[in-house]
Amino acid sequence: MVAAMIITLLLPFPVGAESLSLSSLSAVLYEPQSGRFLYEKDADTKRPMASTTKLMTALVAADLLPSDRIVTIPEQAVLVEGSSMGLRGGDSLSVHDLMTGMLLSSGNDAANALALLSCGSLPAFAQQMNTKAVQLGMYHSLFVTPSGLDEGGHSSTARDMALLGAAVLRNEELAHICSLKSAVVHMGKPMHEVTFTNHNRLLKLYEPAIGLKTGFTKKSGRCLVSAAQKNGVTLVVASLNGGDYWNDHMALYEYGFSLTRSCELTVPELPSLSVAGGTASGISLTMEQPPATVLLKEEAVTCEVRLPAFVWAPVENGQSVGTAVYTVGDRVVYEAPLLAGGSVSARPAMAFTEKWRRQLWLLLTEWIG
């Protein structure tokens, strides 16, 4: 049995991406819910990514260290060049505050500390970073340092870094830290309050911005992985080796938000389902309200209700008996189980034959289908 419902979005499609002029040598615009890249410029060329690396450092450390653990900074961690959150060997602070200092002030000392506290050595931590990269589908990345300092082929691509940004957004604690314009942490020996300001000026320049991380070395140029949210749509932009990267990202977001919209999926009209061998001949169906999905403004959603011709009793309340499948073209955007809205007992006279009837029905359906 199949029922269908079509939601058509009759909104104008925007002008093409050819009107965009970006300073960044590599850039992508990524819509993480569907996994689609809405814009690409030299997306797969490997380039150094500087301190945007620290998004991976945070993600790996979050897997290995409890956020509320109080840690002591190893002396080795502070022996690093570049930006710093001002740590000294022997300082104490929570992992959460260490993460905050690393992500907001881009502390290389904090990145090294998290690596050493997680794995005992920087090479061991880099191995964990590369394992995580493969898990995320970042197949063109090589992580060598937790800080992003240039060393030994440390590199990624704009496409891979967008995947990393989306993964950080899925971690609520890290996403919140990256969204802060400033934060107070407790650190030192004895502990005292220190205020850190986020290097990501996009949070002040562009209202929909919600993160994530800047980066710069002489070799990498200006790098930025950012995220923005507007009218229920979340987008991620990653750019490598840019000049005016703030305006690059804002231009890509305006383009991306003009392409997309959040669509509320509706529950289709559900038929009753026939029940064989039961004390009732049929049963009502229910399903949970589906979440909103992000669509291009030219797209239509189709919902297909997939049900068998009937089910055998007994049927339990809440039992899954079918599926509602929401698609855009050939792409499945959401699937939901269809549940029995009540219980139906087997008729007593048929209870003893229930087992073989079910087996026979399974064999028949396999043979037919």
pLDDT digits (tens, 9 = 90+) for 83-138: 899 999 999 999 999 999 999 999 999 999 999 999 999 999 999 999 999 999 99
pLDDT tier, 20 (very low <50, low <70, confident <90, very high otherwise): confident
| pLDDT surpasses 60 at 210 | yes
Q: What's the pLDDT score for residue 4? A: 37
Please say whether the beta carbons of 214 and 106 come within 8 A: yes
> What is the mean predicted confidence (pLDDT) over 210-235?
97
pLDDT digits (tens, 9 = 90+) for 245-256: 999 999 999 999
**CATH number for the domain harbouring residue 335:** 2.60.410.10
| Active-site hit among 24, 51, 155, 220 | 51
> Do residue 253 and residue 322 come from a single domain?
no
- Domain edge (last residue) among 210, 234, 260: 260
Residue 9 lies in a domain: no
> Do residue 174 and residue 279 come from a single domain?
no
The parent domain of residue 346 ranges over 265-368
Within its chain, how far is the Cα of 78 from the centroid? 32
The reply to whether 83 belongs to the active site is no
| Active-site hit among 26, 94, 106, 226 | 106
Residue 358 lies in a domain: yes
pLDDT tier, 356 (very low <50, low <70, confident <90, very high otherwise): low
Phi and psi (nearest 5°) for 62?
Answer: -65, -30
> Do residue 161 and residue 133 come from a single domain?
yes
Tell me which amino acid residue 157 is: T
pLDDT tier, 365 (very low <50, low <70, confident <90, very high otherwise): low
Residue 8 lies in a domain: no
> Do residue 94 and residue 223 come from a single domain?
yes
In the chain, helix, strand, coil percent, each to 5?
30, 35, 35
Q: What's the pLDDT score for residue 254? A: 96
Phi and psi (nearest 5°) for 328?
Answer: -120, 105
> Do residue 164 and residue 146 come from a single domain?
yes
> Do residue 184 and residue 128 come from a single domain?
yes
- Domain edge (last residue) among 225, 260, 295: 260
**CATH number for the domain harbouring residue 115:** 3.40.710.10
| pLDDT surpasses 60 at 142 | yes
Q: What's the pLDDT score for residue 333? A: 95
Q: What's the pLDDT score for residue 354? A: 61
Q: What's the pLDDT score for residue 8? A: 33
Residue 102 lies in a domain: yes
The reply to whether 281 belongs to the active site is no
> Do residue 112 and residue 219 come from a single domain?
yes
Residue 136 lies in a domain: yes
Residue 80 lies in a domain: yes
| pLDDT surpasses 90 at 349 | no
- Domain edge (last residue) among 211, 242, 260: 260
> What is the mean predicted confidence (pLDDT) over 271-285?
95
| Active-site hit among 54, 132, 213, 230 | 54
The strands making up 209-217's β-sheet, listed across from edge to edge, are 36-41, 26-31, 233-242, 221-230, 209-217
> Do residue 145 and residue 187 come from a single domain?
yes
> Do residue 51 and residue 101 come from a single domain?
yes
> Do residue 29 and residue 43 come from a single domain?
yes
Q: What's the pLDDT score for residue 325? A: 98
pLDDT tier, 13 (very low <50, low <70, confident <90, very high otherwise): very low
Residue 104 lies in a domain: yes
> What is the mean predicted confidence (pLDDT) over 140-164?
97
Q: What's the pLDDT score for residue 36? A: 96
Q: What's the pLDDT score for residue 2? A: 41
Within its chain, how far is the Cα of 361 from the centroid? 42
Q: What's the rounded Cα separation, in Å, for the pair 167 and 136?
A: 8
> Do residue 127 and residue 48 come from a single domain?
yes
Mean pLDDT of the chain: 91
Phi and psi (nearest 5°) for 325?
Answer: -120, 120
Residue 5 lies in a domain: no
Lookup: tokens for 91: 């300082």
Number of domains in the chain: 2
| pLDDT surpasses 60 at 360 | yes
pLDDT tier, 19 (very low <50, low <70, confident <90, very high otherwise): confident
> Do residue 271 and residue 145 come from a single domain?
no
0.95 exceeded by pTM: no
The reply to whether 274 belongs to the active site is no
**In the chain, % of residues over pLDDT 70:** 89
Q: What's the pLDDT score for residue 12? A: 33
Smallest CA-to-CA distance from 215 within 25, 82, 96, 21 is with: 82
